[in-house]
């Protein structure tokens, strides 16, 4: 742990005018306030804020940031108030501490949307002051360094959150070292076997070629010196996580990667960067498709460098990165390397355009979970660079389409997009863009976003805008449908219906307006019978009861089988219930009940193909929904898989299903060839969410070429 004078000396070493007295006061204040509090590791709690402040000194942050780092947990974990911080340390520090405290309070909440809500708060805070993000990243980095002292379930949750959110954010602002260390710790926690395997391979390579790196550096230095280029050359290994991720993305083996060993050439000027590249390419064979020019087209975080893969000295496949010393400083420290607050600037300029784009997604998202999903898409690494007809450069993730390009220009351009010219030729909107394409977007005032677009766009901004339009459009349809359902139901049951009656029951359905009730009924979130019974509490005889009497439906003794009655809402207590084998409905599916003479009620999904058999018998259709206890029991789902006919393929499938906490109930091979076979699997799961997660896991298995829910 840094001592008080050591921390002050570190800050003064890069900022001679730093407020030494404020730093000393903040250090002592943190010690006193945290007092005898201990961390999970057993260390004094005040060691944490001091270490966070120490991390920030490496990036030469201003005095206010260091003070805020020392105080960032005092309001949350001690009796300190924000007003006290403001009085003692000033308005600027108080605002930073306030932003960090709100984040910490969100993190302590429980519930499925906690992570999404936390990220939303972080985005809003960092859009006001980017230093909130820098302090938060340092805070998370120190927590990751002490992750081993946490319980296993908490370790996994923190590691996953770090991998999904905080490491990509560090990458977005160019803090490479912070990103790499976070990724490594999280990778080792979440994928220990893969991590240990790659580390073992790297250790083996080091032992085999312990003297290769110095020899390659010596030869590259000679190559540069012979051509009059003054430079500094260093060699490095890629981190285990970056190797693993590249293996996943490129579906490549360890041996196929040519940039496991990378060499960095730093020169004085941009012209010398291209000179050095020419020397490398003239002397060594270039690996196809391995050259990238991030100097003329920088990454969104400001990263600039030339990357090329070659068969280098000693016939070893290597990656060579060429940059200026100034670029290297920015690439390593990101936004902190050209700290805006030295000039009193705010978080503006090209380096922060992505924050504004994320704020735009926030405005369009329906809920925090959707926002998190779309922003994860936005924090991409690999890019393609395309041009507008005027020559403006637009960076997009790999796999982007003209619709993504249109939304990257402006939301209105995306909303009204009807076609696109790529390099002068009209192409379909689902065409995947390539590096260097010139794209002209064709628009029409009469055009609107299409739900079909959501299937092929890849940027979070495009997905958020499309879903927002579809959501608004769907709501209007749900309102009209819900109103029609209620009017018909009330009329068929000879009950009075009016909007005045609905106004009196708004609170019963957590609705603010009558349209909210209509929309819930139209979407199937609330049944028409629910509304009828609340509006007319004295109502007893229902269409359902009439059907039961008319066709002598079997009903068990009241409460005899309460289990089934709790599974499905909208049925009479004790009624016989069956789940259709044609569609295998699961909690989370929208469902409908079909009355069957002598058997009871059969539950189908609303899109089940067999429902057309009952189109002429509307009296058999029942408006039902899943009950509160539906997920307490297992349900059967059916999957269809296309599997490579290789040894161990079925074992891999069984292992994935077991890890997803599901269970195989039945297996049937329906078709077999020499190279593959098709199987039907009956799987025991709790709900649709669990099934969808399982399907995603199965699709990630390279031996499975197709997997889908069978109907």
- What number of CA atoms fall less than 13 Å from residue 551's CA on the CB side? 15
Structure tokens at 148: 């081993």
Whole-angstrom distance, CA of residue 415 vs CA of residue 467: 11
Beta bridge partners of 43: none
On whether the CB atoms of residues 654 and 697 are closer than 8 A, the answer is no
Structure tokens at 572: 């009479």
| Residue 303 phi, psi dihedral angles, 5° rounding | -65, 130
Task: Give the H or E element holding residue 560.
Answer: none
On whether the CB atoms of residues 418 and 412 are closer than 8 A, the answer is no
Beta bridge partners of 621: 594
Whole-angstrom distance, CA of residue 383 vs CA of residue 399: 9
Whole-angstrom distance, CA of residue 471 vs CA of residue 476: 9
Whether 561 sits among the annotated catalytic residues: the reply is: no
- Cβ contacts of residue 555 below 8 Å, gap of 6+? 548, 572, 574, 575, 576
The 8-class DSSP code of residue 166 comes to I
Whole-angstrom distance, CA of residue 678 vs CA of residue 597: 36
Helix H, strand E, coil C: the string for 376-415 is HHHCCCCEEEEECCCCCEEEEECCCCHHHHHHHHCHHHHH
Whether 76 sits among the annotated catalytic residues: the reply is: yes
Whole-angstrom distance, CA of residue 39 vs CA of residue 46: 9
How many other CB atoms are found less than 10 A from the CB of residue 675? 9
Out of 15, 43, 76, 561, pick the active-site residue. 76
By CB neighbour count within 10 A (0-12 exposed, 13-18 middle, 19+ buried), where does 61 fall? buried
The 8-class DSSP code of residue 269 comes to S
What angle, rounded to 10 degrees, do the helices at 91-107 and 82-89 form?
Answer: 150
Task: Give the H or E element holding residue 460.
Answer: helix 460-492
Whole-angstrom distance, CA of residue 505 vs CA of residue 149: 52
N- to C-terminal Cα distance for the chain?
61
Q: Are strands 393-397 and 635-644 parallel, antiparallel or unpaired?
A: unpaired
Report CA torsion sign: 576, 581, 586, 591.
Answer: negative
Whole-angstrom distance, CA of residue 246 vs CA of residue 3: 41
**665 in helix, strand or coil?**
strand
Whole-angstrom distance, CA of residue 678 vs CA of residue 573: 42
On whether the CB atoms of residues 71 and 97 are closer than 8 A, the answer is yes
| Residue 595 phi, psi dihedral angles, 5° rounding | -75, 130
Out of 15, 43, 77, 573, pick the active-site residue. 77
Report CA-CA distances (Å) from 512 to 520, 532, 571. Answer: 12, 18, 28
- Picking from 364, 384, 386, 385, the residue whose alpha carbon sits closest to that of residue 373 is 364
**368 in helix, strand or coil?**
helix
Residues involved in catalysis: 76-77
């Amino acid at each position: 742990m840094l001592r008080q004078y050591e921390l002050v000396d570190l800050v003064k070493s890069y900022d001679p005018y730093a407020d030494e007295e404020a730093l000393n006061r903040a250090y002592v204040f943190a010690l006193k306030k945290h007092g005898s509090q201990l961390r999970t590791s057993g260390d004094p709690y005040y060691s944490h804020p001091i270490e966070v402040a120490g991390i920030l000194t490496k990036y030469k942050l201003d005095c206010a940031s260091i003070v805020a780092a020392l105080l960032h947990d005092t309001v949350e974990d001690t009796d300190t108030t924000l007003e006290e911080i403001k009085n003692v340390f000033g308005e600027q520090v108080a605002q930073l501490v306030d932003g960090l405290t709100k984040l910490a309070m969100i993190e302590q909440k429980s519930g499925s949307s906690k992570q999404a809500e936390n990220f939303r708060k972080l985005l809003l805070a960092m859009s006001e002051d980017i230093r909130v993000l820098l302090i938060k990243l340092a805070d998370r980095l120190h927590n990751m360094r002490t992750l081993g002292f946490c319980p296993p379930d908490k370790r996994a949750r923190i590691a996953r959150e770090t991998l999904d959110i905080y490491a990509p954010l560090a990458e977005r602002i160019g803090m490479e070292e912070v990103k790499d260390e976070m990724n490594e710790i999280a990778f080792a926690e979440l994928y220990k076997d893969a991590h240990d395997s790659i580390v073992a391979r790297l250790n083996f390579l080091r032992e085999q070629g312990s003297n290769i790196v110095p020899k390659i550096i010596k030869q590259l230095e000679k190559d540069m010196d012979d051509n009059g280029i003054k430079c500094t050359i260093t060699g490095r290994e890629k981190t285990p996580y970056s190797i693993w991720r590249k293996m996943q993305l490129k579906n490549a083996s360890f041996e196929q990667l040519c940039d496991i060993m990378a060499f960095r050439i730093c020169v004085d000027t941009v012209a010398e960067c291209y000179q050095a590249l020419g020397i490398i390419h003239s002397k060594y064979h270039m690996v196809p498709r391995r050259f990238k020019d991030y100097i003329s087209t920088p990454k969104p975080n400001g990263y600039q460098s030339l990357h090329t893969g070659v068969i280098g000295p000693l016939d070893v496949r290597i990656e060579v990165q060429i940059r200026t010393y100034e670029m290297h400083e920015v690439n390593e420290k990101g936004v902190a390397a050209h700290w805006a607050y030295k000039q009193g600037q705010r978080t503006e300029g090209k380096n922060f355009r992505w924050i504004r784009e994320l704020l735009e997604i926030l405005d369009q998202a329906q809920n925090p979970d959707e926002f998190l999903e779309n922003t994860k898409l936005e924090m991409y690494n690999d890019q393609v660079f395309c041009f507008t007809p005027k020559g403006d450069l637009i960076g997009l993730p790999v796999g982007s389409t003209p619709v993504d390009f249109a939304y990257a220009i402006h939301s209105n351009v995306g909303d009204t997009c009807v076609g696109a010219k790529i390099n002068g030729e009209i192409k379909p909107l689902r065409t995947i863009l390539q590096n260097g394409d010139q794209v002209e977007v064709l628009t029409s005032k009469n055009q609107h976003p299409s739900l079909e677009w959501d299937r092929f766009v890849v940027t979070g901004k495009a997905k958020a805008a499309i879903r927002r339009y579809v959501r608004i459009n769907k709501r209007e349809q749900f309102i009209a449908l819900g109103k029609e359902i209620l009017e018909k139901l009330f009329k068929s049951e000879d009950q009075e219906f009016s909007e005045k009656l609905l106004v009196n029951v708004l609170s019963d359905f957590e609705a603010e307006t009558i349209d909210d009730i209509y929309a819930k009924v139209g979407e199937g979130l609330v049944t028409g019978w629910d509304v009828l019974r609340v509006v007319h509490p004295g109502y007893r005889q229902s269409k359902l009861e009439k059907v039961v009497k008319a066709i002598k439906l079997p009903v068990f003794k009241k409460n005899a089988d309460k289990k089934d009655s709790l599974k499905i809402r909208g049925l009479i207590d004790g009624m016989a219930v069956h789940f259709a084998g044609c569609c295998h409905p699961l909690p989370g599916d929208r469902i409908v009940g079909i009355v069957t003479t002598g058997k009871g009620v059969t539950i189908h999904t609303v899109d089940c193909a067999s429902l057309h058999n009952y189109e002429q018998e509307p009296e058999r259709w029942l408006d039902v929904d899943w009950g509160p206890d539906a997920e307490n029991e297992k349900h059967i789902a059916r999957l269809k898989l296309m599997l490579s006919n290789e040894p161990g393929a079925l074992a891999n499938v069984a292992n994935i299903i077991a890890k997803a906490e599901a269970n195989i109930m039945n297996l049937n091979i329906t078709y077999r060839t020499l190279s593959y076979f098709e199987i039907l699997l009956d799987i025991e799961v709790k709900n649709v969410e669990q099934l969808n997660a399982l399907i995603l896991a199965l699709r990630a298995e390279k031996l499975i070429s197709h997997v889908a829910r069978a109907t």
